[in-house]
Structure 1
Amino acid sequence: MRNLVIRMICICLLISIFLPLNVSYASPSVYFDESAYQKRKTAYIEQGVWDESNDALVLQAYAGEELNQKSLQDFLNVLRNGGQKNSDFTLTKLIRVLMFRPEIKDELVEALEGYHFWFREGGTGDHVFSSENHMLMYTSSQYLLQEKYGLYEDERTYKRLKKYLEVKNQYGFYEFYSPNYYPYTLSALLNLVDFTEDEEIRQLASGAAQRLLQDVLFVTNDEGAFFAASGRTNDGYRSNGLNANINRIIYLVTGIGNDKARTPSPIGVMLATSDLEISDDVFRYFGKPINMTYSNGHSLGEAMNTIYKDFPRAERVPFYWTQGAYFHPDVAADTAWFASRYKLQGYESLKAFDRFLGLSESAAPAAAKAGAVFSRSSVLSQANFAMYKDGGVMLHSLQDYWPGRQGYQQNPWIATTGTKSVWTKSGDGGGSSVMQNDHLPKIKQMNNVAVIQYNPYPEIEAYHAGGSNVSLYWPNGFDEEIRNGNWKFGKEDDGYVAVRYPCGNGDAEKVTCDWNEQTWVTIVGTKEKYGSFNQFKQKVLSEVQYDADWEWHGSFWKGTLKYVYDSDVKFDGTDISLTW
Structure 2
Amino acid sequence: MRNRMRSKKRFKVKYILIILFLFAGISVVVDLVRISNYEIIPMRPVEKIDLQQDQVYYDLVNGVDSIDWNRLDGTLEYISNEYDCSDFRLVNLVRILYEYGDQIPKEYKTKIEDVLFGFRYWWDEPGENSMCYWSENHQVLFASAEYLIGKKYPHVVFKNSGLTGKQHMEKARKCALDWLEMRWKYGFTEFYSGVYYKEDIAALINLIDFAGDKELAQKSKIIMDLLFYDVAAQNINTMFVSASGRAYKGNRTGEGGSTLGGLTSYYWGDGKECGAGMLYGMMTTLKYKLPPVLAEIAKDSSNVIIQQSNGLDISELKTEGYYGTDNRSMMMQWGMECFTNPEIVRNTLAHIRNCNMFSNAFIGDFKMLDFSLLKWLRLEPVVTRVINPQPNGVAIQKGNTYTYKTKDYSLYTAQAYHPGTYGDQQHIFGMNINNHFSIFHNHPALEKDRNFQSPNYWVGYGHIPHSVQDKNVNLSIYNIPEKKGLMEMDLLDYTRAYFPTGEFDTAYIDQTFVFGKKGETYCAFIGANVFNFRDNTKNDIIQKGKQTFWITEAGSKTEDGSFGEFVERIKKNTVDFNPVTLELNYRSNNTRYHLKFGADFIVNGKIIDTAYSRYNSPYAQARKKDKTITFNHGGKSLFLDFYKQIREFE
Secondary structure of the equivalent of 2:307? strand
The superposition leaves residues 282-339 of structure 1 with CA deviations (integer Å, 9 ceiling, x where unpaired) of: 2464233322433222333444443446x86255324310012212222111101112
Match of 2:592 among 552, 563, 575: 575
Secondary structure of the equivalent of 2:289? coil
Correspondence 1:492 to 2:518: yes
Distance 2:577 2:177 in 1: 50
Counterpart residue type for residue 360 of structure 2: Y
Distance 1:461 1:369 in 2: 12
Does the 8 Å contact 2:130/2:359 carry over to 1? no
Does the 8 Å contact 2:477/2:582 carry over to 1? no
The superposition leaves residues 420-439 of structure 1 with CA deviations (integer Å, 9 ceiling, x where unpaired) of: 21111212445332322111
Q: 1:256 to 1:523 in 2, by over 3 A?
A: farther
The aligned residue for residue 277 of structure 1 is: 289
TM-score (norm 2): 0.73
The aligned residue for residue 546 of structure 1 is: 575
Does the 8 Å contact 1:490/1:498 carry over to 2? yes
Counterpart residue type for residue 78 of structure 1: Y
The aligned residue for residue 78 of structure 1 is: 78
Match of 1:536 among 566, 569, 580: 566
The aligned residue for residue 240 of structure 2 is: 226
Does the 8 Å contact 2:192/2:231 carry over to 1? yes
Distance 1:480 1:545 in 2: 24
The aligned residue for residue 204 of structure 1 is: 219
Report the Cα offset of residue 134 of structure 1.
0.7
Does the 8 Å contact 1:140/1:192 carry over to 2? yes
Counterpart residue type for residue 240 of structure 1: G
Structure 1 unaligned segments of length 5 or more: list them.
Answer: 1-51, 552-563
Match of 1:379 among 379, 387, 395: 395
Secondary structure of the equivalent of 1:451? strand
Counterpart residue type for residue 74 of structure 1: G
The 5 A counterparts of 1:118-157 are 118-120=122-124, 123-150=127-154, 152=165, 153-154=167-168, 155-157=170-172
The aligned residue for residue 42 of structure 2 is: none
The aligned residue for residue 44 of structure 1 is: none
Report the Cα offset of residue 568 of structure 1.
0.9
Secondary structure of the equivalent of 1:432? coil
The aligned residue for residue 108 of structure 1 is: 112
The aligned residue for residue 92 of structure 2 is: 93
Structure 2 unaligned segments of length 5 or more: list them.
Answer: 1-50, 157-164, 598-650
Q: 1:519 to 1:357 in 2, by over 3 A?
A: farther
The superposition leaves residues 10-54 of structure 1 with CA deviations (integer Å, 9 ceiling, x where unpaired) of: xxxxxxxxxxxxxxxxxxxxxxxxxxxxxxxxxxxxxxxxxx975
Counterpart residue type for residue 506 of structure 1: N
Q: 1:358 to 1:93 in 2, by over 3 A?
A: farther
Q: 1:578 to 1:364 in 2, by over 3 A?
A: same
Match of 2:347 among 334, 344, 363: 334
Does the 8 Å contact 1:225/1:247 carry over to 2? no
The superposition leaves residues 443-470 of structure 1 with CA deviations (integer Å, 9 ceiling, x where unpaired) of: 1111101011111345646634333321
The 5 A counterparts of 1:451-490 are 451-457=475-481, 460=484, 463-475=488-500, 476-490=502-516
Report the Cα offset of residue 199 of structure 1.
0.4
Report the Cα offset of residue 534 of structure 1.
1.5
The aligned residue for residue 441 of structure 2 is: 424
Does the 8 Å contact 1:231/1:409 carry over to 2? yes
The 5 A counterparts of 1:261-300 are 262=273, 264-275=275-286, 276-283=288-295, 285-288=297-300, 289-300=303-314
The aligned residue for residue 253 of structure 1 is: 267
Distance 1:287 1:329 in 2: 44
Distance 1:78 1:61 in 2: 21
Larger radius of gyration: 2
The superposition leaves residues 97-154 of structure 1 with CA deviations (integer Å, 9 ceiling, x where unpaired) of: 2111123453421232531111147543111100011111111100111223215433
Q: CA RMSD in A?
A: 2.7
Larger displacement relative to structure 2 (201-210 or 83-92): 83-92
Match of 1:527 among 542, 549, 557: 557
Larger displacement relative to structure 2 (362-371 or 196-205): 362-371
Distance 2:364 2:243 in 1: 24
Report the Cα offset of residue 264 of structure 1.
1.5
Correspondence 1:322 to 2:348: no
The aligned residue for residue 192 of structure 1 is: 207
What fraction of aligned residue pairs are identical, expressed as a percent?
22
Secondary structure of the equivalent of 1:286? helix
Distance 2:56 2:193 in 1: 26
The aligned residue for residue 555 of structure 1 is: none
Distance 1:133 1:523 in 2: 34
TM-score (norm 1): 0.81
